[in-house]
Structure 1
Amino acid sequence: EEAKERIVVLEKEMASAPKTKEEMVKKADKEVKEVKKKMQAASKAYKVALNETQKVEFEISELKGELDNLISQKEACENNIEKIQERVNQATEALKETKRELQEKNQQLAEGKSQLQQKISELEPAKSGLETEMGDLTEKIQKTQHKIESFDKDRKAAEFSAANIMKEHKWVAEEK
């Protein structure tokens, strides 16, 4: 009797085996389709990320070029400031040319300051790296302007002294 029961159980299992196999194949097909969908979505996301990465790399490249250009311009401005300081020193030796040179320096400083302010606004994205250096340039400009103002006062005082000396000389000549 046990053998009969065992045979009945085995026959039932054999009868249900094809259904189980079909269910397993359907389930496996469904899982494969889901994995394919996930892979397609991941592939699209990868392509989008790759495209964005390339855009960012291009933008970084452009920003590096702009930064290099601005650094060159900053160095040119520093050189210009040094030249201005040399000219101011020379202006003290020639009182006749002081007024003309001072006006020229004021104009160049104003243009330099305007250019620096324009460059500073263009540098906003890269500002953190250049902020200290730009502060130093502004300080140099202010010192140079202070020197120019000081030299202008000295020139005016010298002109006043020269006028007084000329008056005294004229008075002495008239007294003789």
Structure 2
Amino acid sequence: MRAEEKGGRVLRDEEFGAYVAARRPHLFRSAWLLCGDSHRAEDLVQETLAKLYVAWPRVSRLDTVDAYVRRMLVNGHIDEGRRPWRRERPTAEPPDSPSPGLGAEEDDDLWAALRALPAGQRRVVVLRHYWGLSIEETAADLNVGTGTVKSQTSAALASLRRILSPELAGTSTTHDDPGENR
């Protein structure tokens, strides 16, 4: 291998390796929130990173590398759901290993609540509240309108509120005078 080829490839590999080392835990957590299974999440991240490596010379010059990778991850999840063997669901699931950053009980509660959401609402919640994207960014990533993002976010948060905090589900989220509703 010539020196300039070796130097360029080494630099590319170092830059890519640094990006992966810094962002992989976040990508795994996002994938886990999307699909709810640590093994499928690992596969999704691995497939995304393999595709990213091929496109790295072009992608690394972008100002929005994270946005590009996030879109790859979400699209990979959508594509995976279209495959016939992914439509099969077991009737009883053994518990997965806990997700990073949560205890086992919170992990189970969070996934049970997310699993209760339709896939579209789950994607919106992950992009809006885990990635912290704006309504417009979420709409662009999912290729839907901003109204769809707003309505799905509202419906998803109401469902999550009912599931995770049933005692708060009937209370108002506005700052009204508590005596007005009596």
Shorter chain as denominator, the TM-score bin is under 0.3
Bigger RCO of structures 1 and 2 (CA < 8 A, at least 6 apart): 1
Q: Which has the higher helix share?
A: 1
TM-score, length-scaled by structure 2: 0.24
